[in-house]
A and B are shown apart, each in its own frame.
Chain A
């Protein structure tokens, strides 16, 4: 005969409720964590793309005395994921384009040249990339635009 007092077990209902709560809460937390990870990654990517677009547009402003023309840099590293390896980098494509004020693109090989002194130019830097880990996400884009007075 056992000297231990008789213990009452959890009822099935208690267990089920607990499991349900834990499951729901856990799922919420996990999905939040997952979403947060992706969100944080997208922030890193956007910041990287913004930095690249800024670099590209500033480089064009420094090159005023040289021949300007449309530039496409592909690939460019949007986010190195904090690792020295490159195979996990998030890469994209940077474009530098020039337009007349009327919207005509200039500086295209074989197309109209970029006008010289006397004409303002709209310079546009666009960085596009496919977000990491989200196969079906649409391509992201950052565009910066300004005017130049050659």
Chain B
């Protein structure tokens, strides 16, 4: 036995056992390892917690995105409601049969057409009735949705679908009645409930949990101050989306964009000159010209100049325009005949025009001294019985059709939109060549576009009655910008086509020799040259969807003589309208760049175009403006856990 060992291990019984230093650190490696491992483990755990936080954050971001787009979908639903009220026909929903719905209690004072938007028209939901018509229970307290959340309180204009009715005691819905409350109409009549967004497997991703539409009267003064003259506020939409418990609130102001006002006060309107030649006829309406109207004998001789009992009376040649109580020619310039004033004097410019343009009064032009009157020259004044048919006005109220505004309107609402180039080629909105000529485009009338057949399923389709024909950008010499795949290539030497530019730069579309018979509004940024008419239908063949005649005189009577209708509608060009042939229009034609005609074209004015009632395009629409997003959700409803 080693004494040394004994001295350490064994030793004296009273001696304190002392271990050598290395023996005192016995197990220290293990301890150190454990400590290190513990530290490393803690670090890893911390790191994993950090990652986990990141994962939760990512998950929340995902849920927020889902909730945001659910809320967005809710807002879009409201936009759709305003812009397409027909999608929501039948509101309040059918299941409200047990409640009486009353007509709107008041009309709106702000510029939303009540007929188009019933959104804020309150309906009174009366007591539920029993079979005897007596209220079942007048102690109604609240309305709950299917999740048990209270959704209607008092007269809050919360828009949602009423899926459950029960009182606070959970009574059977059938026994619950609704006291007379004024609530806004329900929004969501077309779907089963407020929107629920699902993935392809049907799993719910997110849902709209609240959708409120606030009437302008409920908005704060700060919010109302956001309105502008151009964009009045229609309402404020507050949509709350929820995904995995994460709520996102989207608040959006909806403002109104009014469609450009469509009307035409005359059968023919020219913001430049008007040239009449041949047998051009105008019936049931007026001719307006900003500049001179050049008359020819043919049209003037259609106006009897003397009473029938006057010994010098002569029968009008051709149709008697004097018998047309609505016919009148108005010019802010002068009436001319060739190079002379129509009264026979040499034309020497504005200063010597027969009647000053400075007068605010309508003045009648009396061509009593005109050469074309022949032997009647100088004898007609003051017996010219139809002198009011030739009127000089100092200020005609031309309707203004803004190129940019209409273009935006057509593009915004996906109405038929085409391009043309200087050769008259037509390109569709998709920038692909659509057809070679305008005539071929319009000849789609045999299909569903511009159809005049009331049996056509798209006969009442609003969009099938419009066409906007734009023209390509040009340079200063009128040369069009080159097209690549139908898209004009713009650079500093080209500028977008503006019809206000010289007309020489405007391309011309030729329509000729085709048996076109169309209807609707055609707005053209190109000049239009039309000849020929083919064999369109007769005026008594044009019927509305109820079988009623479309072609009527301004007094509502049927015309004494039927005629063939080349186009039933409104034809507008920011360029010129010209051509010949015997085409006949029912409606109105309007040429900013001037109007010329030869042959025997005719225009029968549709008086419904005077106030735009001919085609209901004056439908206001809403647009989203000024929106805000709040992550974290809407204020909790009463009784809901926060």
Contacts and interface: CB of A to CB of B under 8 A. Distances in A.
Interface stretch (A27-35, A70-78, A83-91, A129-137): A27-35
Interface stretch (B55-63, B334-342, B592-600): B55-63
A6 B2 CA distance: 11
A57 B34 CA distance: 53
A22 interface: yes
A108 interface: no
Contacts of B55: 39, 43
Interface of B: 4-5, 8, 20, 22-23, 26-27, 29-30, 33-34, 37, 40-41, 44, 47-48, 51, 54-55, 58, 61-62, 65-66, 69-70, 72-73, 76-77, 79-80, 83-84, 86-87, 191, 195, 197, 199-200, 205, 411-414, 429-430, 463
B58 A43 contact: yes
A46 B37 contact: no
Given A50-B61, A144-B65, A26 B76 contact: no
Nearest to B47: A36
A148 B84 CA distance: 13
Contacts of A119: 84
A44 B197 CA distance: 25
Nearest to A31: B44
Interface of A: 5-8, 10, 14, 17-18, 21-22, 25-26, 28-29, 32-33, 36, 39-40, 43, 46-47, 50, 53-54, 57, 65, 67, 101, 116-120, 142-150
A147 B77 contact: yes
Contacts of B412: 65
Report which residue of A7, A40, A65, A144 has the largest number of chain B beta carbons within 10 angstroms of its beta carbon.
A144
B65 A53 contact: yes
A116 B413 contact: yes
Nearest to B59: A46
Contacts of B83: 117-118, 149
B411 A65 contact: yes
Given A7-B20, A50-B65, A36 B48 contact: yes
Nearest to A47: B58
A149 B85 CA distance: 12
B635 to A, nearest CB: 24
Contacts of A67: 429-430
Contacts of B27: 14
Contacts of B26: 8
A147 B414 contact: no
A75 B211 CA distance: 38
B540 to A, nearest CB: 33
B62 A50 contact: yes
Given A17-B30, A29-B40, A117 B69 contact: no
B51 A43 contact: yes
Given A50-B61, A143-B199, A143-B205, 6 more contacts: A8-B26, A21-B33, A25-B37, A46-B58, A146-B69, A147-B73
Given A8-B23, A32-B48, A46-B58, A25 B8 contact: no
Contacts of A26: 37
B4 A18 contact: no
A54 B65 contact: yes
A145 B29 CA distance: 59
15 contacts: A5-B20, A6-B20, A40-B54, A43-B51, A43-B55, A46-B58, A50-B65, A53-B65, A57-B69, A65-B411, A117-B413, A117-B414, A117-B463, A144-B69, A146-B69
A126 B234 CA distance: 34
What 9 A-B pairs have minimum CB-CB distances, sorted nearest first?
A116-B414, A149-B80, A146-B69, A147-B73, A25-B37, A5-B20, A149-B79, A149-B76, A147-B76
Chain B interface main SS type: helix
A25 B44 CA distance: 11
Contacts of B199: 143, 145
B48 A144 contact: no
Contacts of A147: 72-73, 76-77, 80, 195
Given A5-B20, A142-B62, A146-B73, A118 B205 contact: no
A21 B58 CA distance: 35
Contacts of A40: 51, 54
Contacts of A21: 30, 33-34, 37
Nearest to A10: B29
A143 B58 CA distance: 14
A119 B29 CA distance: 75
B32 to A, nearest CB: 10
Nearest to A120: B80
B429 A18 contact: no
Contacts of A32: 44, 48
A44 to B, nearest CB: 9
A36 B51 contact: yes
Contacts of B414: 116-117, 150
Contact of A47 (B47, B61, B205): B61
A35 to B, nearest CB: 8
Given A7-B23, A43-B58, A116 B47 contact: no
B409 to A, nearest CB: 11
Contacts of A5: 4, 8, 20, 22
A116 B464 CA distance: 12
A43 B73 CA distance: 27
Contacts of A148: 76
A109 to B, nearest CB: 12
A122 B4 CA distance: 92
A121 to B, nearest CB: 9
Contacts of A145: 69, 73, 197, 199, 205
B276 to A, nearest CB: 41
A103 B425 CA distance: 38
A8 to B, nearest CB: 6
A7 B76 CA distance: 83
A65 B34 CA distance: 67
A74 to B, nearest CB: 19
Contacts of A28: 41
A70 B353 CA distance: 64
Contacts of B61: 47, 50
Q: Which among A6, A43, A50, A146 has the highest number of chain B CB atoms within 10 Å? A: A146
Nearest to B21: A5
B457 to A, nearest CB: 15
Contact of B33 (A18, A33, A142, A146): A18
Contacts of B34: 21
B372 to A, nearest CB: 53
A117 B87 CA distance: 11
Contacts of A54: 65
Contacts of B62: 46, 50, 142
